[in-house]
Amino acid sequence: MSDDSEFPSSRSQRPRLRRRLAWLAGALVLAAGGFAAWQHGDAAPAVAQAAPPPPTVTVSTPLEREVSAWTRFTGQFSAVDEVDLRAQVSGYLTEIHFTDGQIVHKGDLLFVIDPRPFEIQLQRATAQYQDAAASLDLADRQWKRTSELQRSDFASRDVLDQRVQAQRAAQAAMEEAKAAIRSAQLNLEFSRITAPFTGRIGAHQVSIGSLVNGGTGANSTLLATVVSLDPIHVDFDMSESDYLNWRRYQQAAGANAGKGVELALTDEQGWPRRGVLDFVDNKLDRSSGTMHARATVPNPDLLVSPGQFARVRLPTEAPRVALLVPDAAVATDQSNKLVMTVAEDGTVVPKQVQLGGLDGGLRVVTGGLEKSDRVVINGLMRARPGGKVTPQPGAIAVAAN
């Protein structure tokens, strides 16, 4: 018998097992699908998140103000008066009456050169004067007596001429003695060197006990240098175009226009100092193509010293009304300058503008902006062209000079 006849029950159970396995697989698939549907389809829908509000920015209309056109320069201060103190008489230095770098006043005693030789010279000149005076007195009496005798023919004309010549020689000796006295007095005065004006003195160049050489040339000994401080000059150079603008402004507004300058030291904000332009050179420097100019500036606190640098600005046009915005409100797009404005519906609208200089810490806008535009002055990074913003009103303030 075959194997199939020996196991009839196992052959009949195989189809039933296959159907059960298929049903179980289908049930598993349906269960998995139902679980997924329960997770994704049958779950409660998520609450939709609300859109964020537009960013907040501060806006203001441009500041309308009368401004002047200024041209800026770099200036350097120099002393109105500067003197090298040199010895005019020779001798030993015996006294120094100042501390290096201190403020000295006109007439203050600074140096003393040993005065004893000059005192002796003065005494000698005085004695010579007295001798000359006695000789002149004798010559006068002899001349008078001889004149009387000559009128009575008791003296010859030759003797009278000799008396006249002696009297004139005595008079000349008298004048020479007077000059010697003045020279000795002057040398004695030169032995005491005083401050020629009020200012700051530098370091002494010789010490007590040094032999100094006097004279009027460069061979005389340099003792110290004094510079005046109040007022003080500031020198700067104008280019040819700047000079032409300034001169045309002067011709249009009058000779006294354009002479007020404003200055600031390197650590100062704004333009806190004022000066008066009092010198413009008479020709252009051929090598640099510039015109040298100079202004005088008060320096009552003596803060400024010769040699310091300063920012200088000079008016070159008549004042005019202009629109101003904060310099931080100006954006750059390649070579273009932009400001962001906000329309009535909150849309950011960029505007290309033309700019001038700074005035009171604000940037002058020469074109491209209307006085009714609302300019973004704070929150510029949150303002996207074409986007929406929430504008808040602000104000543009002028920085105090």
**Does 1.10.260 match the CATH number of domain 116-190?**
no
Count the Cβ atoms, other than its own, within 10 Å of residue 4.
Answer: 9
The closest alpha carbon to 268, from 312, 326, 316, belongs to 312
Q: For residue 238, give the nearest of 226, 229, 250 by alpha carbon.
A: 250
What is 248-263 written as a DSSP string? HHHHHH-TTTT-EEEE
For residue 84, give both structure tokens: 């090298």
Give residue 47's pLDDT: 47
In this predicted structure, what is the pLDDT of residue 160? 64
Tell me the CATH number for domain 70-80+231-315: 2.40.30.170
Q: d(Cα 103, Cα 84) in Å, to the nearest integer?
A: 16
Closest by CA to 204, choosing from 78, 88, 92, 93, is 93
Give the start-to-end residue ranges of the domains of the chain: 3-40, 58-67+320-393, 70-80+231-315, 85-112+199-227, 116-190
- CATH number of the domain at 58-67+320-393, out of 3.40.50.620, 3.40.50.1370, 2.40.420.20, 3.40.50.970? 2.40.420.20
Question: Residue 356, SS3?
Answer: strand
* pTM for this model (two decimals): 0.66
Task: Determine the residue type at 335.
Answer: S
Residue 23: predicted pLDDT: 52
- The 8 Å CB, 24+ separation contacts for 383-386 are 383/55, 383/57, 383/340, 383/342, 383/348, 384/348, 385/340, 385/348, 385/349, 385/350, 386/347, 386/348
Residues of the chain with pLDDT under 70: 1-50, 143, 148-150, 153-155, 157, 160-161, 399-401
Query: Is the CB of residue 346 less than 8 Å from the CB of residue 388?
Result: yes
CATH number at 85-112+199-227: 2.40.50
The predicted structure's pLDDT at residue 38: 41
Q: 390, 57 in Cβ contact below 8 A?
A: yes
Q: How confident is the model at residue 4, as a pLDDT?
A: 45
pLDDT of residue 44: 44
Give the number of other Cβ atoms within 10 Å of residue 91's Cβ: 21
pLDDT given for residue 258 in this prediction:
76
- Name the nearest CA neighbour of 163 among 193, 186, 140, 132: 140
How would you classify residue 308: left for phi > 0, otherwise alpha for psi between -120 and 50, otherwise beta?
A: beta
